[in-house]
Amino acid sequence: MDAELTVPEAVGVVHPARAAITRRVYVEAFGCQMNFLDGELAVSRLSDHGWARTADAEAADLILFNTCSIRDQSENRVWSRLGALRERKARDPGLLIGVMGCMAQREAAQILKRMPHVDLVCGTRRFQEMHRLVERAETEGQVLAVEVDGFVDVVRDVRIRPERHRAYVSVMRGCDHRCSYCIVPRTRGTQVDRPFDDVVSEVRRLSADGVREITLLGQNINTYGRYLPDRPTLGGVIRAVDQVPGIERIRFLTSNPMDIEDELLEAMAETPAAAGYLHFPAQHGHSDVLRRMYRGYSRERYLEVCETARRLCPGIELASDLIVGFPGETEEEFEATRSLMETVQFKQVYIFKYSPRPGTAAAEKLVDDVSDAVKRDRKNELLAVQERISIARNQRLVGTDVHVLVDGPSPRNAARLSGRAEGSHMVIFDGSEDLAGRFIRVRVERATAAALYGTLVPGSEH
């Protein structure tokens, strides 16, 4: 999935028929976009059983942490947040505290042992039972539910989502690859594909409720359809979603370069609503390190995919994840990653220091022999490279018009508006708040590494 995120989930719309709801749930998500979606789906189930979401943790009767295990830093933040609730739980024994997601799956009973004030631990494929699990926690005491077998089938209330104009839609879960550093197959299970018609049906319901941008999600999304009888593809899903009235932009996350085929890129090129943005993590720039990572492709193959994507989809923006300090990484191997960045000229790169995850092949078979200081220096060096590249790429857009879906007031300056352009560029401009959720055109006047700044093109709103 995309870069790690950590923000409280926003308050969703409560249907008028639920005006009598008195109990409130606060959900804080750590990690990838799938976690944010899973939080929405869990709240959707709770909302049918007397719960409404709140953005105020202090006012909540149930606090849910939706967790990530990709890096130990992510887990440490959750441990800290749980520890901070110990005193509040002592003052208010009626408060319910739950942990869901990948850390819940991995740590399981250890969470209940280390944090005995936690009432509920729910794994990555049990959240669709959240209402029943909460009821059990209230009547039986601590609940542990971490089985990973089977398909996650959630009847979604499409009205419950943090943003009215965009939504996440899961097309598959789990991953069959075994990258040596990655905990995801252990915490999310093996790949399970969602039926094609179910995906399109959910998109139709979201569109009818005002959604204009869809982001399709999967741990390794470009293998979608592998286990369905008629072998649909992600490209086919993109083409079908494009036909749903009201949907004007389609994104998807995240792809393994090993599995990207021309059919997907051709679907992106031929589908009007498909955003010109492809996030497919290279993870490293040296073939020897990629072999130690069990990534299934070489540096040369990755560059071939980049070339094909730009040939088939002119103007596409490419984004990646990179790991520094993987076991045995030499200076020469690190320089190959820097070289990859210079060659590809990514729009965006998320750079992480290698973090051994228990149970992975890298943690069990390789020695974490690159010091934290070297990892830090290499990360900072690549960040500086990417900032230079991002500034140059963004400045190419000065003087052009970009197509923007308006989010609302800018997080850093509420007096201005912000939104996303097709290539996932953040765009800042002046305008009235009633533009939120609408598509507009902005003429770019200046650019930084992080954002484009411009002026609303009069009459472009729709």
Tell me which of 36-40, 84-88, 346-350, 394-398 is least confident. 36-40
12 lies in the same domain as 115 = yes
Find, among 14, 23, 17, the residue nearest to 160 by Cα. Answer: 14
Domain boundary among 94, 115, 145: 145
pLDDT band at 152 (very low <50, low <70, confident <90, very high): low
User: By the 8 A CB rule, do 354 and 375 touch?
Assistant: yes
Gyration radius of the chain's alpha carbons: 22
Beta bridge partners of 214: 167, 250
pLDDT reported for residue 35: 86
Tens digit of pLDDT for each residue in 428-444?
999 999 999 999 999 99
Domain boundary among 366, 394, 422: 394
Q: 134-164 burial string, b = 16+ CB within 10 Å, else e?
A: bebbeeeeebbbbebeeebebebbbbbbbbb
Residue 354 lies in a domain: yes
User: By the 8 A CB rule, do 235 and 264 touch?
Assistant: yes
Residue 154 lies in a domain: no
pLDDT reported for residue 148: 65
372 lies in the same domain as 435 = no
Residue 308 lies in a domain: yes
pLDDT reported for residue 162: 86
Average of per-residue pLDDT across 154-165: 85
Phi-psi region of 56 (alpha: psi -120 to 50; beta: other; left: phi over 0): beta
Average of per-residue pLDDT across 296-314: 97
303 lies in the same domain as 326 = yes
Asked whether the bond before 448 is cis by omega within 30 degrees of 0, the reply is no
Backbone phi, then psi, for 361, in 5-degree steps? -65, -40
Tell me which of 8-17, 20-29, 275-284, 296-305 is least confident. 8-17
- Tokens matching residue 269: 């090129």
Distance CA 176, CA 264 (A): 20
Query: By residue range, what is the domain housing residue 42?
Result: 5-145
Average of per-residue pLDDT across 295-308: 98
249 lies in the same domain as 368 = no
Distance CA 447, CA 444 (A): 8
DSSP label of 14: P
pLDDT reported for residue 3: 45
Distance CA 164, CA 390 (A): 30
129 lies in the same domain as 17 = yes
- Tokens matching residue 49: 């059983």
363 lies in the same domain as 450 = no
pLDDT band at 71 (very low <50, low <70, confident <90, very high): confident
316 lies in the same domain as 409 = no
Phi-psi region of 369 (alpha: psi -120 to 50; beta: other; left: phi over 0): alpha
Distance CA 429, CA 456 (A): 7
Residue 180 lies in a domain: yes
pLDDT reported for residue 126: 86
Average of per-residue pLDDT across 59-73: 92
DSSP label of 248: -
User: By the 8 A CB rule, do 239 and 271 touch?
Assistant: yes
323 lies in the same domain as 266 = no
On the question of pLDDT at 5 being above 60, the answer is no
Backbone phi, then psi, for 53, in 5-degree steps? -80, 145
46 lies in the same domain as 9 = yes
23 lies in the same domain as 95 = yes
* Per-residue CA distances from 63 to 53, 227, 302, 358, 449 (Å): 10, 36, 42, 27, 36
pLDDT reported for residue 12: 40
Tens digit of pLDDT for each residue in 344-385?
999 999 999 999 999 999 999 999 999 999 999 999 999 999
pLDDT reported for residue 2: 43
Give the 3-state secondary structure of residue 102: helix
Which tops the pLDDT comparison, 349 or 161?
A: 349
Backbone phi, then psi, for 407, in 5-degree steps? -90, -40
- Strands 249-253 and 213-217: what pairing? parallel
- Tokens matching residue 10: 């926003």
Q: In this prediction, what percent of the chain has a pLDDT beyond 90?
A: 82
Amino acid at 394: N
- Strands 23-31 and 5-8: what pairing? antiparallel
Distance CA 9, CA 39 (A): 8
Report the domain count for the chain. 4
Find, among 278, 280, 217, 271, the residue nearest to 241 by Cα. Answer: 271
Domain boundary among 275, 307, 325: 275
Looking at residue 451, which CATH number applies to its domain? 2.40.50.140
Residue 158 lies in a domain: no
User: By the 8 A CB rule, do 237 and 203 touch?
Assistant: no
Looking at residue 347, which CATH number applies to its domain? 3.30.750.200
- Tokens matching residue 317: 């923006």
Q: Angle, nearest 10°, between helix axes 372-395 and 331-344?
A: 10
112 lies in the same domain as 221 = no
Q: Model-level pTM? A: 0.91
CA 418, 251, 255, 130 dihedral sign is: positive
Distance CA 105, CA 173 (A): 14
Tokens 């228990």 -> residue = 358
User: By the 8 A CB rule, do 42 and 15 touch?
Assistant: no
Which long-range CB contacts under 8 A does 328-335 form with residues at least 24 apart? Answer: 328/289, 328/292, 328/366, 328/367, 328/369, 328/370, 329/289, 329/354, 329/370, 332/286, 333/284, 333/285, 333/286, 333/288, 333/289, 334/378
Average of per-residue pLDDT across 384-393: 98
Average of per-residue pLDDT across 177-203: 94
- Tokens matching residue 441: 């055109």
Looking at residue 47, which CATH number applies to its domain? 3.40.50.12160
368 lies in the same domain as 438 = no
Residue 223 lies in a domain: yes
Residue 448 lies in a domain: yes
Q: What does the chain come to in residues?
A: 462
Looking at residue 232, which CATH number applies to its domain? 3.30.750.210
pLDDT reported for residue 46: 92
pLDDT reported for residue 7: 38
Burial of 460 (0-12, 13-18, 19+ CB in 10 A): middle
Residue 37 lies in a domain: yes
